[in-house]
Copies of this chain bind each other. A is one copy, B any other.
Amino acid sequence: MLKINREYIEKLKLLIEDEKDQELLSLIIDLHPADIAEILESLAMDDAKYLYLLLEGGLASDVLVEIPEDDRRRFLAELPAEIIARQYIEYMNTDDAVDVLGELSEDKQEEVIAYIDDLEYAEDLSELLTYDEDTAGGIMAAELVAVNENWTVQTCLKEIGRQAEDIDEIYYVYVIDDQNILKGVLSLKKLIQYPTQTNINNIYTRDVISSKTDAPRDEVARKMEKYDLVALPVIDEMGHLKGRITIDDVVDIIREEAEKDYQMASGIMGNVSGMKIWKQARARLPWLSIGFAGELLASRVLGSHESTFVIIPGIAFFMPLIVAMGGNVGIQSTSIVLQKLAGRSNDRETLGYKLLRELVVALAMALFFSILLFLFNHFTGNNKVLTYTVSVALFIVIIFAALFGTLFPIILNKMKIDPAIATGPFITTTNDVLGLLIYMSIGQYFFNLFG
């Protein structure tokens, strides 16, 4: 628990330069692996590698798990399978090991597993690797403490002491029958409170919340969040206990999903903070390019209405307003429907009801702003055709943007495409182009009518 500051980093840099290994080690060896990873991140690549290679055994593996995926991938790519297996993977919990193995090619995965001496552990890894990484099976660990429903408190305590060797922390003890079917859960508190000869059959909780191995990971996250669980047992189709998921992994998932949505909405692909300049530009260019192409299209649409601009130049003055209102309403609608699709709120509404509600809200907002705009133009003495055009166009564009912003993510979701891509520059650009088309058409229509 130290504050990593500039001076500390500078000190490390000097020691690395002078190759003072013992002094370096004494400075970092007592730190938490997460802190060491943070230090490595703030050093230049070569310095970080030098420092990291001073670490050994369990600490080296713990730090490896904490560093960013890109760096780890690059580091492991240079190492032979035997080193990866014996110096890193063997020290890890199965869930971390599977994450790291998942970053290697399939051939290398097999090679690494073949070098692992603990056969039971190797087998666990092979099985865990068969699960999709976005499912409960893909994030669970095989390490857990399980006791038989027929045991006494005393047998359980003895057995737990033995099993717990491999496990950092015990949160729950799972109760299984002779066929390894999950029957319930037993709290350590009860084991401590009850007399040693008590049969656990009388004290364990039968109502245990679990997930199937193929449950999507965000469903797992929501379940643990809703029921305030610290660990969740994972079972197969038959009810056999296969592993457990701990809350720290779920916290990462919650954070990741929330940040992904936010980045999508901001038009950034991936996590750019701390990225090198070129990589950062690359993460931002795709969305900007979509916007750019869309707006070039818009310029062509507008170009085909050149005569309208010549006759009523005022129509140009309100283009930003029409476009911005459509865009803002569209983003709101999309983000509301996305929250529902992500299941963060109870969603027992039908599609029809969603659209209807959005329509009513949109009608109210469209009416409000159109009237406001009409009054503004009326009292600032703008020309009559323009006054009607912009108010009617604003009304239609708001309704259109709300419905499009609601429907589009739903359609993407039905097509099994991540609906979050509907946010950000994508929805704004589409709204821009279609909104301008609506605006200019109405302008032309009114001009033909009144002009």
Question: For the complex, what is the distance from the CA of A179 to the CA of B224, rounded to whole Å?
Answer: 37
Residue numbers in B under 8 Å from A376 (CB-CB): 296
A17-25, A69-77, A105-113, A287-295 - interface stretch: A287-295
8 Å CB interface, A215-238 against B: 224-230
Residue numbers in B under 8 Å from A364 (CB-CB): 277, 281
Kindly state whether residue A425 has any CB partner on chain B within 8 Å: yes
B192 adjacent to A157 (CB under 8 Å)? yes
Kindly state whether residue A177 has any CB partner on chain B within 8 Å: no
A-B contact pairs, 27 of them (CB 8 A): A4-B348, A30-B207, A32-B209, A34-B228, A38-B346, A42-B346, A160-B189, A169-B189, A171-B171, A225-B252, A225-B255, A230-B247, A230-B248, A262-B262, A262-B335, A265-B266, A268-B336, A274-B346, A280-B357, A284-B365, A285-B365, A288-B325, A288-B365, A295-B325, A316-B319, A320-B323, A320-B436
Kindly state whether residue A306 has any CB partner on chain B within 8 Å: yes
Q: Which residue of chain B is the closest to A292 with respect to CB atoms?
A: B369
Interface string of A80-114 (1 = CB under 8 A from B): 00000000000000000000000000000000000
Question: For the complex, what is the distance from the CA of A192 to the CA of B300, rounded to whole Å?
Answer: 75
Question: For the complex, what is the distance from the CA of A129 to the CA of B247, rounded to whole Å?
Answer: 28
A interface, by DSSP: helix, strand, loop or mixed? helix
B328 adjacent to A291 (CB under 8 Å)? yes
A118-126, A136-144, A307-315, A407-415 - interface stretch: A307-315
Q: Which residue of chain B is the closest to A302 with respect to CB atoms?
A: B317
Question: For the complex, what is the distance from the CA of A193 to the CA of B167, rounded to whole Å?
Answer: 13
Q: Which residue of chain B is the closest to A429 with respect to CB atoms?
A: B324
Question: For the complex, what is the distance from the CA of A316 to the CA of B346, rounded to whole Å?
Answer: 45
Kindly state whether residue A267 has any CB partner on chain B within 8 Å: yes
Residue numbers in B under 8 Å from A225 (CB-CB): 248, 251-252, 255
Q: Which residue of chain B is the closest to A172 with respect to CB atoms?
A: B169
B319 adjacent to A320 (CB under 8 Å)? yes
A324 adjacent to B368 (CB under 8 Å)? no
A189 adjacent to B170 (CB under 8 Å)? yes
Question: For the complex, what is the distance from the CA of A207 to the CA of B209, rounded to whole Å?
Answer: 34
B255 adjacent to A228 (CB under 8 Å)? no
Residue numbers in B under 8 Å from A267 (CB-CB): 328, 331-332
B161 adjacent to A328 (CB under 8 Å)? no
Given A262-B335, A335-B263: A318 in contact with B291 (beta carbons within 8 A): no
A316 adjacent to B309 (CB under 8 Å)? yes
Q: Write the nearest CB–CB distance from A386 to chain B, whole angstroms.
A: 10
Interface string of A240-282 (1 = CB under 8 A from B): 0000000110111011001101110111100111100100110
Kindly state whether residue A340 has any CB partner on chain B within 8 Å: yes
